[in-house]
Amino acid sequence: MNREQLEYFRHKLEVMSQDLLQEAEKTIHEMNDSTENYPDPTDRASAESDRSFELRIRDRERKLLIKIREAIERIDEGLYGICEECGEEISSKRLEARPVTTQCIECKTLQENQERAQKGL
């Protein structure tokens, strides 16, 4: 992968990171500013369910942020775009679709098939 491609993916990853951090900040703000008092138990339960859902989304995004940071580290180390399993280059199309990936499509497909076989699917 050439320098221009690496810089493209670094920028893409940094933008993804900034977007996720802004969403997290907005959620924190909304939760801190929320002084809603629901006298109706159904409304209160609905609000708690919404809050729980929002927190699950943010937890998934937190995990994605870790993967983004790791991908940027791989760029810095010269390992970005190389499959961790087979050592082959990961296609640009795959990296475009999922810039944090660590496996080529063949190795990822094999891994998913093995997981399905273990679960008995």
The predicted model gives 72-94 an average pLDDT of: 96
Dihedrals phi, psi of 103, to nearest 5 degrees: -130, 145
- Whether the predicted pLDDT of 35 surpasses 70: no
Rounded to an integer, the average pLDDT of 10-21 is 97
Handedness of CA 97, 103, 107, 111 (dihedral sign): negative
Residue 39 vs residue 14, higher pLDDT: 14
Domains and CATH numbers, the chain: 1-80 (1.20.120.910), 81-121 (no CATH)
- Greater confidence (30 vs 48) lies with 48
Give dist(CA 27, CA 62) in Å, integer. Answer: 13
Q: What is the pTM of this model?
A: 0.81
How many whole angstroms separate alpha carbon 19 and alpha carbon 65?
Answer: 10
Half-sphere exposure of 57 (CA within 13 A, CB side): 12
Q: Is the pLDDT of residue 46 over 90?
A: no
pLDDT for the residue 48: 84
Percent of the chain with pLDDT over 70: 95
- Averaged pLDDT, 90-118: 96
